Amino acid sequence: MTERGINMLRVPISTQLLLEWKNGQFSPPNVNTYANPELVGMNSLQIFDHFLKVAKKYGLKVLIDGHSADADNSGHFYPVWYKGTVTPELFYQSWEWLTARYKNDDTILAMDIKNEPHGKAYSETLFAKWDGSTAINNWKYACETASKRILAINPNLLVLCEGIEVYPKAGFTFSSRNELDYHSNWWGGNLRGVRDHPINLGANQDQLVYSPHDYGPSVFLQPWFYPGFTKATLYADVWRDNWFFIHEQNIAPLLIGEWGGFMDGGANQRWMVALRDFITENRIHHTFWCLNPNSGDTGGLLLNDWTTWDEAKYALLKPSLWTHSNGKFVSLDHKVPLGNSSVGTTVTEVYR
């Protein structure tokens, strides 16, 4: 990864796993010890620490993504950050524990508080909303609270707040049961609430990054993927009003936390090229989904042998990676070259 210019890796983790680690409980890890014999005998937390050690060696930074409450392969389908025995308070405590444990290790650069809060307020009982309340399902309040508790322990971290799925149109509230009263977007992609109810981190406001997700028609055929859609129509129909206004109005930095998909030679690939160019032209931070090949919605940068790169997909991604004028990839560490000195650079310029 680092030899190919990837300088940060977004790692999904469940709240359940963090709470198990916090309590000294370790489920048997599912790892390929034939390919990784150095992991034999390690528990899951030891493997995670080993991963961080290797990442540090190659100048790779880590973004921890609170992907789901439960540690299962479908946990991300659940719309909110609390579930069953995982209460909002335990959700906050899991982040505090992780922050305190790695406070002195700047390999972990950022915390993505919750992956893709979602839910349709007009038709579903359980949904994430964004308003000025302290309701249990108010994602704005939860992200703000978790971020403040993280930054009280380590004020140098970045905290990422994703969007939700639906936001009421002017004159309506989340109490409406009429679908037409809402603006809809991808899970985690609707940050319209920032206009009315921005995250407030007080003295640590500079640590805030808003993080929408955006996908193409191979994931779901959204109404903005009509015949002939372009980068310009995507900007006008979905990107500007859902999240890019945050960049245009200099409210806070943006990091597109998930984008990617299959190289289908058609509409999905056209969307990927459009967003890649939009990211590059506007110098937007991003993490591509994903490295591993077993994502059914998108595939990965690696092919099914988990070793060979999908060179066509990497060629599409590469222009959006940070490079210096000397052609080297840019490290986020500023001390450790990315990959090695022949590949990475430690220039001290700020890319924003």
Closest CA to 133 of 193, 185, 187, 86: 193
Q: Say which residues have a Cβ less than 8 Å from residue 172's Cβ, sequence separation at least 6.
A: 181, 182
Letter string b/e over residues 74-107, b meaning 16 or more CB atoms within 10 A of that residue's CB: ebbebbbbbbeebebebbbbbbbbbbebbeeebb
Q: Indicate the pairing of strand 182-184 with strand 166-168.
A: antiparallel
8-state DSSP, 217: T
> Is residue 81 within 8 Å of residue 27, measured between CB atoms?
no
- Which residue is associated with the tokens 């299962």? 72
Q: Say which residues have a Cβ less than 8 Å from residue 269's Cβ, sequence separation at least 6.
A: 261, 262, 263, 316
Residue among 144, 162, 165, 258 flagged as catalytic: 258
DSSP H helical segments within 129-201, as ranges? Answer: 139-153, 193-196
In angstroms, rounded to a whole number, what is the distance separating the alpha carbons of residues 267 and 263? 9
In angstroms, rounded to a whole number, what is the distance separating the alpha carbons of residues 252 and 249? 8
Active site residue 116: yes
Active site residue 349: no
Residue among 96, 116, 144, 179 flagged as catalytic: 116
Residues involved in catalysis: 116, 258
